[in-house]
Amino acid sequence: MALAFDEYGRPFIIVKEQEQKTRLRGIEAQKANISAGKAVARILRTSLGPKGMDKMLQSPDGDVTITNDGATILEQMDVDNQIAKLMVELSRSQDYEIGDGTTGVVVMAGALLEQAERLLERGIHPIRIAEGYEMASRIAVEHLDHIAQKFDFGPTNIEPLVQTCMTTLSSKIVNRCKRPLAEIAVKAVLSVADLERKDVNLDLIKVEGKVGGKLEDTELVYGITVDKDMSHPQMPKKIEDAKIAILTCPFEPPKPKTKHKVDIDTVEKFQTLRQQEQKYFDDMVQKCKDVGATLVICQWGFDDEANHLLMHRNLPAVRWVGGVELELIAIATGGRIVPRFQELTPEKLGRAGLVREKSFGTTKDKMLYIEHCANSRAVTIFIRGGNKMMIEETKRSIHDALCVARNLIRNNSIVYGGGSAEISCSIAVEAAADKYPGVEQYAIRAFADALDSVSIALAENSGLQPIETLSAVKSQQIKENNPHFGIDCNDVGTNDMREQNVFETLIGKQQQILLATQVVKMILKIDDVISPSDY
């Protein structure tokens, strides 16, 4: 195989240690790759759409995850195959970039690969297929621009945003109360959004969860929640108009960072050191008190004595607050993170209207709510639910909804969902195919078929007759020249997606098509797989 002959007919080896490697070449390699990609897509296919099913995943440590989110499924699946890993990457990049449509992108790529396989069998060169796909994807994306609609929203008119988030949430387990959750997501995004610059920093939205209660109890807190309680049990549980000192230095005896030690060899030294120590704690507390702080939030622990002094001087304090949370608190309260006691000044204090401790259930779980902050641009979504898996899944769903809302603020173009955009693109691509001379024409047609198959999967999952439904919708779209007809997954009675209020973001859809095409191109171009054989 990997033997070549030089001009004298002597064999020489190209691939080192070839005996220990397995190698696939040419059409074999392409077929193997395609079948691996298809296998991944097949797993996700049933999760697509509002009636899609969930997957239960058991991690190597035995933890159970139940989810409907494509990116999470693939990430947790722990795949071994190289091509399958590419598909995982694909869904992950959709997740990073857009946050939603992670299932759709993999199903789309799977459908493209399936079509490519047929073309390969007819003897079309993989590069020609790839080029055809590229052209087709360009047509589709342009067409999407064409059918996209802008819609208006503002801080007062959030209805369109809520509707879009509801479309995203309807495929998750939380669809029981999608309306309140969608509203929470939209309000959260709007309160941190910079509408001037059309930018949203999702880091400012913290999603916290605690088991217990019911999903309906999920709430949006205009402020920060911290999973900590006051350092001393007898400190006040509620502080109004708090001035917060945010510290990253511990209330502990100072330890020199360098290796040197103070040696005590005389009684005098011993006594001076002792006095210093006492004074040190006193100073620390006094400094906080002097600048007028009424609450201390610290990243590190407290010494017992310091803790008592704080309590004694009536200065409530919270210890061991994580770095990320500390930052959020600083942003929300408009305070500065202070690394040394000496640097405390009144201007560096954060302000919050209300800080309170809230306890949950029968165990002594406590959380600290910091509300009515000076700068209300950091919010927390606090999720409740029946069990741990539910909370995790809700977190993922909320994340998707947040991403969608953000994308809409960045770019307020939408397309209609329910497969209508895919069907419309498919018609456009099909029509354009005939204009291209050459073999690419076949690939472009195949691309249209692949677009159809996404809608078919949607119909299948909803328990409809897939082919029948698709052809009905397609003919309706062509007849009435209206790209808003899609698949009626929820059995509402109309398949006009505009009436059903099923939207998706334009960039999300475009990204799906582009990413899927890119990955498929990459897979098609591989004609040689060399891997170390099992030993």
Partner 1 sequence: MAIEKILKDDASEEKGERARMASFVGAIAITDLVKTTLGPKGMDKILQSTGRGNEVTVTNDGATILKSLHIDNPAAKVLIDISKVQDDEVGDGTTSVVVLAGELLREAEKLVAAKIHPMTIISGYRMAAECARNALLQRVVDNKENAEKFKSDLMKIAMTTLSSKILSQDKEHFAQLAVDAVMRLKGSTNLEAIQIIKKPGGSLKDSFLDEGFILDKKIGLGQPKRIENAKILVANTAMDTDKVKIYGARVRVDSMSKVAEIEGAEKEKMREKVKKILGHGINCFVNRQLIYNFPEELFADAGILAIEHADFDGIERLALVTGGEIASTFDNPESVKLGHCKLIEEIMIGEDKLIHFSGVEMGQACTIVLRGASHHVLDEAERSLHDALCVLSQTVNDTRVLLGGGWPEMVMAKEVDELARKTPGKKSHAIEAFSRALVAIPTIIADNAGLDSADLVAKLRAEHHKEGCNAGIDVISGSVGDMAELGISEAFKVKQAVLLSATEAAEMILRVDEIITCAPRKREDRM
Is there a catalytic annotation at residue 69?
yes
Annotate each residue in 306-335 with x if it binds partner 1 (CB under 8 A) or - if it does not, as one string: xxxx-xx-----------------------
Which residue's entry shows tokens 């029509």?
Answer: 431
Q: Which residues of 121-157 are buried (b: 16+ CB within 10 A; e: fewer)?
A: eeebebebbbbbbbbbbebbbebbeebbeebebeeee
Site residues (CB under 8 A) for partner 1, limited to 472-511: none
The Cα 74–Cα 52 span in angstroms is 16
Residue of 95, 100, 400, 488 marked catalytic: 400
* CA–CA distances in Å: residue 31 to residues 81, 82, 106, 119, 528: 14, 14, 18, 11, 11
Figure out which of the listed residues 18, 23, 29, 32 binds partner 1, where binding follows CB under 8 A.
32
The Cα 425–Cα 273 span in angstroms is 79
Smaller CB distance to partner 1: residue 85 or 377? 85
Site residues (CB under 8 A) for partner 1, limited to 361-390: 361-365, 385-390
Site residues (CB under 8 A) for partner 1, limited to 213-252: 213-215, 232-234, 252
Read off φ and ψ for residue 268, nearest 5 degrees.
Answer: -65, -45
Question: Taking Cα atoms as reference points, which of 133, 108, 111, 116 lies closest to residue 27?
Answer: 116
At 348, the amino acid letter reads K
Q: Kindly indicate which of the ranges 12-20, 57-65, 97-105, 477-485 contains the residues binding partner 1, using the contact rule CB under 8 A.
A: 57-65
Figure out which of the listed residues 303, 327, 449, 527 binds partner 1, where binding follows CB under 8 A.
303
Shortest approach of partner 1 to residue 372 CB, angstroms? 25
Q: Is 196 in the site for partner 1 (CB under 8 A)?
A: no
The Cα 259–Cα 232 span in angstroms is 33
Q: Is 359 in the site for partner 1 (CB under 8 A)?
A: yes
* CA–CA distances in Å: residue 267 to residues 114, 264, 274, 280, 453: 86, 8, 11, 20, 87
The Cα 132–Cα 530 span in angstroms is 27
The Cα 191–Cα 378 span in angstroms is 8
Shortest approach of partner 1 to residue 291 CB, angstroms? 22
Smaller CB distance to partner 1: residue 345 or 531? 531
Figure out which of the listed residues 81, 375, 441, 482 binds partner 1, where binding follows CB under 8 A.
81
Shortest approach of partner 1 to residue 342 CB, angstroms? 17
Annotate each residue in 153-192 with x if it binds partner 1 (CB under 8 A) or - if it does not, as one string: --------------------x--x----------------
Question: Taking Cα atoms as reference points, which of 118, 144, 141 lies closest to residue 443?
Answer: 118
Q: Is 58 in the site for partner 1 (CB under 8 A)?
A: yes
Shortest approach of partner 1 to residue 333 CB, angstroms? 28
Shortest approach of partner 1 to residue 107 CB, angstroms? 15
